[in-house]
């Protein structure tokens, strides 16, 4: 039994969590230069600068903060997560910070680099014995057996960020844009995984009466675009996204369509093409979700140019390219997925050079 008063432990844990975030935020806001786009400024909010190299850091930090403050996590509480994504590595980091054991239940095809990251952050992992869709249930069973806490980012992240996530990514963006030629962006573009980030940004825009509009980009097989267009809250596709971090086979609880102005579907080959363009031309070593973001930005910038609108557009670098060298940056992997990014790369190169966006990519259908 611990000799430390639970309230003393919780107060110390919350100080550690807050201090860890305070020393690494705000993340950089970097201009992205496209020669043909005079009068329109594009910025990348670089969340890959966060610990563990992922914007999921903000979500997990808020979830730990809320769980400690609410008494769900106390001294020696084992923490479990069911994910083969960045949340597992970030969860391991915060558990280590608080001296708590951490276990990720991962799907069978989880990439080795991610498993290595979990271990480097002080956690352990085990392959789920059930199908990927059931690993969350498996993690909950383990948590009940060991009297632990389940880090369920799909169910809890949006509310945790709303309650404990300040200063938010939106607070940072508008603070960093002060003094820029167009300090109030025309658009902010993000993806949706848990839905927490788009909800956070959308609420901020409405709370502060900004004219900025929010666009969510959505990869193939994801439920968010068809759910948004059909106004169906429980839409499902039953197919996983090939773009890590964004896109879901079902609408998650944190997705908040009422604060979103536009949802843009993006082909997976276009996401990979834009990721490659960022990597080779712009020297931005970002992951595939950032490629999805950039493709949506091009849609919107083309609209602005057609309407004679000048201004700024901001999107997010969700994570770095490093974990994807054997997947999305590998020609062999891309070919095995049946994807051909080459035509989209040509379109993107032409747009950056001339400002001409192919009519077939008109976002007005979204």
SS3 call for 50: coil
| Helix ranges, the chain (H) | 6-22, 56-69, 86-97, 112-120, 135-146, 153-164, 169-177, 196-207, 224-230, 268-280, 288-306, 331-336, 342-354
Fold of 22-50+162-365: Rossmann fold (3.40.50)
According to the model, what pLDDT value does residue 363 have? 44
Residues 198-225: pLDDT tens digits? 999 999 999 999 999 999 999 999 999 9
Q: What is the pLDDT of residue 129?
A: 79
Measured over all CA atoms, what is the biggest interatomic distance in the chain, rounded to whole angstroms?
68
Sheet strand arrangement including 102-106: 124-127, 102-106, 79-82, 149-150
| Residue 366 reports pLDDT greater than 60 | no
Domain 56-153 listed as CATH 3.40.50.1100: yes
Look over the chain and give the mean of its residue pLDDT values, rounded to a whole number: 92
Q: Evaluate if residue 116 carries a pLDDT over 50.
A: yes
Q: Do the domains 22-50+162-365 and 56-153 sit in the same CATH topology, yes or no?
A: yes
Q: Break the chain into its structural domains and give their ranges.
A: 22-50+162-365, 56-153
Query: What is the pTM (predicted TM-score) of this model?
Result: 0.92
Looking at residue 112, what is its pLDDT? 87
């Amino acid at each position: 039994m611990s000799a430390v008063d639970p309230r003393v432990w919780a107060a110390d844990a919350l100080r550690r969590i807050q201090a860890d975030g305070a020393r690494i935020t705000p993340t950089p806001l970097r201009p992205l230069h496209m020669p043909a786009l005079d009068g329109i400024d594009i910025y990348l909010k670089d969340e890959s600068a966060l610990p563990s190299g992922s914007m999921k850091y903000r979500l997990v930090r808020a979830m730990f903060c809320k769980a400690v403050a609410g008494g769900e996590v106390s001294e020696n509480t084992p923490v479990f997560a069911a994910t083969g994504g960045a949340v597992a590595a970030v969860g391991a980091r915060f558990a280590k910070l608080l001296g708590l054991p951490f276990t990720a239940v991962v799907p069978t095809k989880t990439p080795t680099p991610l498993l290595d990251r979990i271990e480097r952050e002080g956690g352990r992992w085990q392959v789920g014995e059930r199908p990927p869709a059931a690993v969350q249930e498996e993690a909950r069973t383990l948590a009940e057996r060991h009297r632990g806490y389940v880090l369920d980012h799909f169910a809890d992240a949006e509310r945790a960020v709303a309650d404990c996530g300040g200063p938010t990514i939106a607070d940072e963006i508008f603070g960093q844009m002060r003094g820029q030629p167009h300090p109030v962006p025309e658009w902010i573009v993000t993806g949706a995984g848990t839905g927490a980030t788009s909800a956070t940004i959308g609420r901020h825009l409405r709370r502060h009466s900004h004219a900025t509009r929010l666009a969510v980009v959505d990869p193939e097989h994801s439920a968010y675009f068809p759910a948004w267009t059909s106004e169906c809250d429980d839409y499902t596709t039953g197919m996983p996204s090939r773009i890590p971090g964004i896109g879901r086979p079902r609408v998650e609880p944190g997705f908040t369509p009422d604060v979103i102005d536009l949802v843009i579907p993006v082909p997976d080959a276009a996401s990979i093409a834009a990721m490659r363009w960022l990597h080779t031309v712009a020297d931005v070593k970002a992951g595939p979700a950032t490629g999805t973001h950039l493709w949506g930005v091009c849609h919107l910038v083309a609209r602005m140019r057609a309407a004679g609108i000048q201004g700024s557009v901001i999107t997010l670098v969700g994570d770095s390219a490093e974990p994807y060298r054997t997947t999305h940056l590998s020609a062999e992997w891309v070919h095995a997925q049946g994807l051909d990014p080459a035509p989209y790369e040509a379109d993107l190169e032409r747009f950056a050079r001339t400002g001409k966006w192919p009519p077939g990519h008109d976002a007005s259908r979204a």
